[in-house]
Amino acid sequence: MSSRTVAKRGFNLDYIMWLFMRLSALALYALGLTGLVAALIMGARTQTDISTLLRWTFFPNPSHVISSDIVNLEPWINSFWQIIQMLVVFFGVTHGINGLRMVVEDFIGSSWWRVLWRGFIFFLWLFILLVAIYVVLAS
């Protein structure tokens, strides 16, 4: 069979976001897995209960383990986990907010409403992102 290809062209928001939704979903899986495996290595199996472990898996923030039996919190609180958290925040929030955009745009065609909505959603995204990063850095 001959191999047929076409030149790729015409980038558009919907294409990029479609790709991003899938990539971010996979990234969230990867980050969750990292959190889970690391937590187990760091002794979570004996020192925390499962719901705490799950909370940590979804979001490796020290406040999620602070009330557990962990003796040495040192490895749980450091800039590595802060970076991971920021990645989770970035992918999670962007994914979620874009999801919100998709849902809304399903119902409004290409009218001026759309421009308004996109503006609003952009600022919402920025706001939540900044707040979340602040929380991460501050805790």
Partner 1 sequence: MKKITLKLFRYNPETDKKPHYDTFKMEVEPTDRVLDLMEKVKGYEDGTLSFRRSCAHGVCGSCSMRINGENMLACKTLVQDLGTNKITVEPMLGLTVLKDMIVDMKPFFIHYESVMPFFVNDEPDPAQERLQSIEDRERFDDTTKCIMCGACTTSCPSFWANEEYVGPAAIVNAHRFIFDSRDKAAAERLQILNDQFGVYRCRTIFNCTVACPRDIQITKAIGEVKKAIATGNLD
Partner 2 sequence: MALNRKVSLFTGLKYKGGGPMWAWIMHRLSGLAMVFFVGGHIIAGFLTQQFGSEVGIAINTIYENWIFQLALFFLVIFHAVNGLRVVILDLWPALLEYQREAIWLQWLTFIPIYGLVLVVVLKDALGG
Residues 62 and 77: beta-carbon distance below 8 Å: yes
Q: Which of 14, 37, 49, 126 binds partner 2 (CB under 8 A)?
A: 49
Residue 29 identity? Y
Residue burial 110-137, b: 16+ Cβ < 10 Å; e: rest: eeeeeeebeeebeeebeebbeebbeebe
CB 9 → partner 2: shortest distance, Å?
A: 21
Selected range binding ligand HEM among 33-41, 49-57, 72-80, 93-101, rule: CB under 6 A? 93-101
Is residue 122 a contact residue for partner 2 (CB under 8 A)? no
Is residue 107 a contact residue for partner 1 (CB under 8 A)? yes
Token pair 């558009």 is found at 12
Q: Which of 15, 29, 80, 113 binds partner 2 (CB under 8 A)?
A: 29
**Which of 74, 106 has the CB closer to partner 1?**
106
